[in-house]
């Protein structure tokens, strides 16, 4: 006599659970992925093509597996958005939040503006997080940013069992003529509090234009195969932000070669060079102050020599106002906090906006 | 014949090592500690007096061991500043940097302004970090902020073996008539990237006035023994920022009692109430939107009733402009990033400046 009662109870419980809050997960590989230089990458959520595995230096190849700057676009009417994701190395850094290194970050197009919804906070290698709930069941366009300093092995998006998830119905950010950024740990998003605050992600929202993040922490050493990869992109602008990593000697040896590889395939596309940030501890540490000065002298000398040779559509961005003047915008003198990334984006935005319109 | 040669080599090596870079550590307990409501705390680097151990709720007592808002002042001519410190729980949070939870943060008085030097990044329970090096051997005034979301068990400051560390020679920030803040996880510094970016620490630098941080993550529930502790401080202003934690019922039951305990001992001191922040996900999550509205309606009703009863020197700060209008200033909809703390400080600064001068 007991079994049927238990069965009925279980059935009632399941039924009420599915009505009230069951979340169904959908593999994100069915939805558009923004931010890649080529579709032909090693895995869906990595940044370099397999062909570079035997060519690139080890650290560049490994950093290429980090999903910095990648974002999934989708449309849903769900009242809850959740996610399940597996990261590659379960990376932990002492000056960056786990949410920034290996978390997710959800934005929604609200009154024409990409608006922060909430972050997906990681717990380890395998993660499940409810990003937002208690929403009205309205149709919305979403953009979900992937981890900045870890690889994304797999990703599923969770919605209410009775809701729908579909392809985006609005093609924003514009994917034609993206902006390609090449650079260091700062470009890769170190140390944004959440993935959406890396400056390429901020600028992609503000400009509503796809941005491609080729930031390689500690390894923007002007590797020429990366210039070849960059040159394959039909971009509206190229941003070369390698001075934080490349030494004066490396710049002397390879900066013009790196530039020329891109320029040969894109004779008229604007190319922006960026000075080394005036790291805030240059006010105290004489060695780092000298290093920043020497590097900025060198990149400006290279820029002047390109101009003197008659190169057109090249620009230099001074770092004088890059992250403000109060010395507060970094976590360690070097890596930008969200405050630094916001200030850097405010400096870059008008420059990029002007050039991609031309 | 071999022994003397080895001995001489060792002696020469030690000598050259001590000249070039030996760091000598000095116990920080010999230097002034700013940010405590009472000198009579459980340990030097905790925030509550031992007498509350058997009175306060467990979580309040435990959070009182976190060194949020505490700072060591010293003077040195060293070219390097290093630190050794042990933390209590080796706390890790997925939405805050380890540097913010359990790291150190060094500032220096430069041309009359407290200027970020660098952070001390933690590696675990026991930590050693070089904070800055390669400085000119000049006399400088320093302020070293302690961990926000962990306890500080011990702390030593490292300087060049031939340099000096002394008591501060300038009495800034002003320690007479400090400002006392009572509040939630946000007040405790969640989620600043480094300790100096908690808003009480920012404001203490900008106002050059000691600030006392009684932020208890998730536990600003108007515990009356904390009001008693606050009332012991001869403050220039009291800032009551409990709405993010206290429920409408808790406010109805205890907000006036909490206020009255402070007011009875300080009949003329300005007391500032602060609304719940408009958490950024209120744009999407209807439940949190309703909760924020209900709480802000309640704190405003309490404020109006105090005014109607003739209470003087009380003020209400609207949260309308607290963290800007772009929804970008939090890591999780709730907790401020450095961008949020900077905006919140910019809102609070003129209000506090006006009142502490009166």
Chain A hits for B281, CB-CB cut-off 8 Å, are 117-118, 132
Residue B34 is inside which H or E element, if any? strand B33-34
pLDDT for the residue A148: 98
Does residue A15 belong to any structural domain of this protein?
no
**pLDDT for B317-346, tens place per residue?**
999 999 999 999 999 999 999 999 999 999
Kindly identify which residue of chain B lies nearest to residue A196, measuring between CA atoms.
Answer: B328
Instruction: State whether B67 and B195 are in the same domain.
Output: no
Average pLDDT over residues A105-113: 97
Instruction: State whether A337 and A267 are in the same domain.
Output: yes
Burial of B308 from C-beta contacts in 10 A (0-12 / 13-18 / 19+): exposed
Cβ within 8 Å, pair A284-B118: yes
B138 touches chain A (CB under 8 A): no
**pLDDT for B125-153, tens place per residue?**
999 999 999 999 999 999 999 999 999 99
pLDDT of A3 above 50? no
Q: Which of A303, A247, A298 is nearest to A273 (CA)?
A: A303
**pLDDT for A24-38, tens place per residue?**
999 999 999 999 999
Average pLDDT over residues B219-237: 98
Helix axes B338-357, B199-207, angle to 10 degrees: 40
Instruction: State whether A161 and A194 are in the same domain.
Output: no
Interface of A with B in 246-265 (CB under 8 A): none
Interface of A with B in 81-100 (CB under 8 A): 94-99
Which of A147, A166, A185 is a domain's end point? Answer: A166
Q: What's the order of all strands across the beta sheet hosting B174-183?
A: B209-215, B174-183, B237-241, B271-274, B314-317
B332 touches chain A (CB under 8 A): yes
Cβ within 8 Å, pair A328-B337: no
- A133 vs B132, B285, B329: nearest CB: B285
- A331 vs B194, B287, B331: nearest CB: B194
B172 touches chain A (CB under 8 A): no
Chain B hits for A98, CB-CB cut-off 8 Å, are 94-95
pLDDT for the residue A358: 61
Chain B hits for A117, CB-CB cut-off 8 Å, are 281, 284
Does residue B5 belong to any structural domain of this protein?
no
Q: What is the least distance, in Å, from the CA of A294 to any CA of chain B? A: 17
Does residue B9 belong to any structural domain of this protein?
no
Chain A hits for B122, CB-CB cut-off 8 Å, are 94
B112 touches chain A (CB under 8 A): no
Instruction: State whether A154 and A296 are in the same domain.
Output: no
Residue B182 is inside which H or E element, if any? strand B174-183
pLDDT for the residue A179: 98
Does residue B322 belong to any structural domain of this protein?
yes
Q: How many domains does chain B have?
A: 2
Cβ within 8 Å, pair A287-B134: yes
Does residue B13 belong to any structural domain of this protein?
no
Measured CA to CA in angstroms, residue A9 lies from A4, A6, A12, A46, A194 at distances of 8, 5, 5, 47, 43
Measured CA to CA in angstroms, residue A78 lies from A21, A141, B7, B60, B283 at distances of 11, 11, 76, 38, 15
Q: How far apart are CA A280 and CA B123, in angstroms?
A: 23
**Total length of chain A:** 358
Instruction: State whether B178 and B307 are in the same domain.
Output: yes
Cβ within 8 Å, pair B118-A333: yes
In chain B, pLDDT over 70 holds for what percent of residues? Answer: 94
B115 touches chain A (CB under 8 A): yes
pLDDT of B2 above 80? no
Cβ within 8 Å, pair B193-A191: yes
Kindly identify which residue of chain B lies nearest to residue A121, measuring between CA atoms.
Answer: B94
**pLDDT for B26-83, tens place per residue?**
999 999 999 999 999 999 999 999 999 999 999 999 999 999 999 999 999 999 999 9
- Residues β-bridged to residue B330: B336
Instruction: State whether B159 and B190 are in the same domain.
Output: no
Q: What is the least distance, in Å, from the CA of A290 to any CA of chain B? A: 11
Average pLDDT over residues B234-257: 98
Cβ within 8 Å, pair A193-B331: yes
Q: Domain range for residue B135?
A: 22-166
Does residue A42 belong to any structural domain of this protein?
yes
β-strand pairing of A140-145 with A126-132 = unpaired
Q: Which of A103, A158, A97, A95 is nearest to A125 (CA)?
A: A103
Q: How far apart are CA A197 and CA A337, in angstroms?
A: 9
Instruction: State whether B315 and B195 are in the same domain.
Output: yes
Per the CB < 8 A criterion, the answer to whether B351 and B341 are in contact is no
Q: What is the least distance, in Å, from the CA of B2 to any CA of chain A? A: 40
Q: What is the rounded average pLDDT for all residues in chain B?
A: 94
Q: What is the least distance, in Å, from the CA of B235 to any CA of chain A? A: 28
Which of B147, B166, B185 is a domain's end point? Answer: B166
pLDDT of A15 above 90? no
B357: pLDDT confidence band, cut at 50, 70 and 90?
Answer: confident
Chain centre distance of CA A108? 17
Which of B166, B194, B213 is a domain's end point? Answer: B166
Average pLDDT over residues B232-259: 98
B337 touches chain A (CB under 8 A): yes
Q: How far apart are CA A11 and CA A16, in angstroms?
A: 9
Instruction: State whether A186 and A322 are in the same domain.
Output: yes
Residue B23 is inside which H or E element, if any? strand B23-27
Average pLDDT over residues B101-117: 97
Q: How far apart are CA A53 and CA A47, in angstroms?
A: 12
Which of B94, B127, B327 to probe the A interface (max A CBs under 10 A)? B94
Does residue B305 belong to any structural domain of this protein?
yes
- A331 vs B99, B287, B332: nearest CB: B99
Q: Which of B159, B144, B142 is nearest to B82 (CA)?
A: B159
CATH code where residue B252 lies? 3.40.50.1110
B197 touches chain A (CB under 8 A): yes
Helix (H, G, I), strand (E, B) or coil at B95: coil
Which of B111, B206, B337, B346 to probe the A interface (max A CBs under 10 A)? B337
* DSSP state for residue B330 in the 8-state scheme: B
Instruction: State whether A95 and A206 are in the same domain.
Output: no
B323 touches chain A (CB under 8 A): no
Chain centre distance of CA A161? 31
Per the CB < 8 A criterion, the answer to whether B277 and B241 are in contact is no
Per the CB < 8 A criterion, the answer to whether A35 and A213 are in contact is yes
Per the CB < 8 A criterion, the answer to whether B288 and B330 are in contact is no
CATH code where residue B80 lies? 2.60.120.260
Instruction: State whether A161 and A183 are in the same domain.
Output: no
Q: How far apart are CA A61 and CA A229, in angstroms?
A: 13
Q: How far apart are CA A77 and CA A137, in angstroms?
A: 5
pLDDT for the residue B13: 44
Q: What does the DSSP assignment read for B104-169? A: EEEEEEETTEEEEEEEE---SSEEEEEEE-S--S--EEEEEEPPSSSBEEEEEEEEETTS-EES-S
Chain B hits for A99, CB-CB cut-off 8 Å, are 94-95, 331-332
Per the CB < 8 A criterion, the answer to whether B87 and B133 are in contact is no
Cβ within 8 Å, pair B132-A284: yes
Cβ within 8 Å, pair A98-B94: yes
Burial of B194 from C-beta contacts in 10 A (0-12 / 13-18 / 19+): buried
Instruction: State whether A97 and A235 are in the same domain.
Output: no
Chain A hits for B98, CB-CB cut-off 8 Å, are 94-95
Chain B hits for A197, CB-CB cut-off 8 Å, are 328, 337
Q: What is the least distance, in Å, from the CA of B55 to any CA of chain A? A: 34
Kindly identify which residue of chain A lies nearest to residue B287, measuring between CA atoms.
Answer: A134
Average pLDDT over residues B279-289: 97
Q: How far apart are CA B182 and CA B177, in angstroms?
A: 16
Per the CB < 8 A criterion, the answer to whether A155 and A28 are in contact is yes
Average pLDDT over residues A226-241: 98
Helix (H, G, I), strand (E, B) or coil at B86: strand
Does residue A279 belong to any structural domain of this protein?
yes
Please tell me whether the peptide bond between A173 and the residue prior to it is cis, using omega within 30 degrees of 0: yes
Q: What does the DSSP assignment read for B64-84? A: TTB-TT-EEEEEE--S-EEEE
Instruction: State whether A153 and A196 are in the same domain.
Output: no
Which of A115, A124, A193 to probe the B interface (max B CBs under 10 A)? A193
B288 touches chain A (CB under 8 A): yes
């Amino acid at each position: 006599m007991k079994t049927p009662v238990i069965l009925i109870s279980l059935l009632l419980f399941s039924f009420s659970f599915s009505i009230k809050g069951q979340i169904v997960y959908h593999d994100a590989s069915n939805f558009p992925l923004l931010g890649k230089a080529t579709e032909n990458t090693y895995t869906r959520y990595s940044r370099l093509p397999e062909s570079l595995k035997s060519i690139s230096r080890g650290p560049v190849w490994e950093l290429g597996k980090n999903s910095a700057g990648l974002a999934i676009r989708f449309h849903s009417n769900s009242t809850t958005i959740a996610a399940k994701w597996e990261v590659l190395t379960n990376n932990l850094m002492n000056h960056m939040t786990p949410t920034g290194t290996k978390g997710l970050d959800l934005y929604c197009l609200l009154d024409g503006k990409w608006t922060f919804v909430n972050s997906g906070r990681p717990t380890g290698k395998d993660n499940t997080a409810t990003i937002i709930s208690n929403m009205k069941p309205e149709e919305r366009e979403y953009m979900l940013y992937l981890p900045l300093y870890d690889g994304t092995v797999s990703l599923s998006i969770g919605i209410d069992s009775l809701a729908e998830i579909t392809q985006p119905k609005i093609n924003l950010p514009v994917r034609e003529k993206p902006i390609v950024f090449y650079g260091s740990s700062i470009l890769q998003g170190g140390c944004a509090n959440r993935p959406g605050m890396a400056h390429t992600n901020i600028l992609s929202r503000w400009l509503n234009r796809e941005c491609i993040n080729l930031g390689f922490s500690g390894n923007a050493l002007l590797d020429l195969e990366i210039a070849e990869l960059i040159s394959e992109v039909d971009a509206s602008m190229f941003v070369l932000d390698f001075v934080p990593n490349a030494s004066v000697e490396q710049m002397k040896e390879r900066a013009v070669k790196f530039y020329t590889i891109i320029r040969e395939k894109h004779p008229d596309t604007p190319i922006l060079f960026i000075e080394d940030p005036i790291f805030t501890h240059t006010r105290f540490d004489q060695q780092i102050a000298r290093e920043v000065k020497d590097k900025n002298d060198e990149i400006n000398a290279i820029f002047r020599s390109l101009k003197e040779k008659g190169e057109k559509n090249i620009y230099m961005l001074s770092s004088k106002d890059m992250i403000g003047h109060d010395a507060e915008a970094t976590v360690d003198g070097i890596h930008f906090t969200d405050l630094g990334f916001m200030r850097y984006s405010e400096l870059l935005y008008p420059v990029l906006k002007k050039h991609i319109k031309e």
